[in-house]
Amino acid sequence: MGMTSEQLANAMRVHRPYLINLAYQMLGDIGDAEDVAQEAFLRLARAEGVEDVRGWLTVVAGRLSLDQVRSARHRYETPTETTALEAKSVAPVDPADRVTLDDQVSGALMQVLQRLSAGERVAFVLHDVFKVPFDEIAQTVGRPPGTCRQLARRARAKVQESGPAATDVSRDEHREVVERFITACATGDLAALTNVLDPTVWGVATLLGDPPLPPQTNHGPVAVATNLLLYLGEGATLVGALGQPVLLGYAQRRLFAVLVLTVRNGLVVKIEATADPSARWP
């Protein structure tokens, strides 16, 4: 027997932020990532006997993303610089240039992804970013687990050659914190968001505008979390940037915010954001 409408709605609430983030890491396009997540849930609604919902969705989204990569429908422009993911380097721009932020960030991500074959991209993202076992990755890629290990190893070497941002935080710790952060924002859960913030956390936001707006600074978990949900709550989609301690905020598939997180001991201690309110609320 398939899921009830209530079970499906709960699954979407719990797993949709994770699924979009997973697909984005492989596709580099927020629209495609949201479409993959939507299709995965449509298939879940028709499926029967699914015990591990998250695992099932991961495999389905991985297969859909792999099909997207292999179809070669995506065409991206390569940026002239790869530093676009550093939010602090983004200067205020006039309205005619707002799309540049989106193009640069997407281009910088795709510059890394384009170095990987379809199999390498999926194996690397599923294993190194989302810790999916190689036995499950083999179901997605359609190759033996040993081959998937080799694909992930080759992809890892290529990503490291691209020069990801240096960090003292382990990949596993960063992944866990980012996932908790994204889920809390997506569900509008103030308590869950404050729980991922250090008691000494502070955040500073540079707001783009004409004329430029004064920076906003907040201190403490409640003040920082409340301000974050104002921008990143309902109607926003938050994803991680591959290989970077950076989160990207989208609204109606338009980039409106770039956040650089500083993580220590499993908690966020600092948030540096660049946001364009007019792109969030046009």
- Residue keyed to tokens 């020069």: 163
Residue 88: the pLDDT is 36
Comparing C-alpha atoms, which of 185, 187, 183, 222 is closest to residue 203? 222
Q: From CA 237, how far away is CA 1, in angstroms rounded?
A: 32
| Element (DSSP H or E) covering residue 18 | helix 5-27
Distance of alpha carbon 234 from alpha carbon 90, whole angstroms: 25
Query: What would the two tokens of residue 269 be?
Result: 């201690």
Q: How many domains does the chain have?
A: 1
Residue 250 β-bridge partners: 237, 255
What are the angstrom distances between the C-alpha of 218 and each of 68, 84, 221, 239?
A: 41, 25, 9, 22
**Residue 32: predicted pLDDT:** 92
Tell me how far apart the alpha carbons of residues 83 and 269 are, in angstroms, rounded to a whole number: 23
* Three-state SS annotation for 192-253: HHHHCEEEEEEEEEEECCCCCCCCEEEECHHHHHHHHHHHHCCCEEEEECCCCCEEEEEECC
Do the domain assignments include residue 108?
no
CATH no. for residue 233? 3.10.450.50
Per-residue pLDDT of the chain (282 residues; tens, 9 = 90+): 578 889 999 999 999 999 999 999 888 889 999 999 999 999 999 998 888 999 999 999 999 998 888 874 444 433 333 333 333 333 343 434 333 444 455 555 666 777 788 888 888 888 887 788 899 899 888 889 999 999 999 988 887 776 544 455 576 777 888 889 999 999 999 999 999 999 999 999 888 777 767 788 999 999 999 999 998 988 899 998 765 678 889 998 888 888 888 999 989 999 998 888 888 876
pLDDT confidence of residue 244: 65
Instruction: Tell me, yes or no, whether 37 lies in a domain.
Output: no
Domain assignment present for 176: yes
The label of the residue with tokens 């998937």 reads 148
pLDDT at site 224: 96
Q: What is the pLDDT of residue 176?
A: 85
Q: Is residue 201 in some structural domain?
A: yes
**Do the bridges between strand 197-207 and strand 267-275 make them parallel or antiparallel, or are there none, so unpaired?**
parallel
Residues 182 and 21: beta-carbon distance below 8 Å: yes
Q: Is residue 200 part of a domain?
A: yes
Per-residue pLDDT at 16:
94
Q: Amino acid identity of 57?
A: L
Report helix angle 134-141 to 145-161, nearest 10.
90
Neighbours of 204 (CB within 10 A): 15
Q: Give the chain's largest Cα–Cα span.
A: 58
Is residue 184 situated within a structural domain? Answer: yes
pLDDT at residue 163, as a whole number: 56
Range of the domain at 255: 171-280
Looking at residue 185, its pLDDT comes to 93
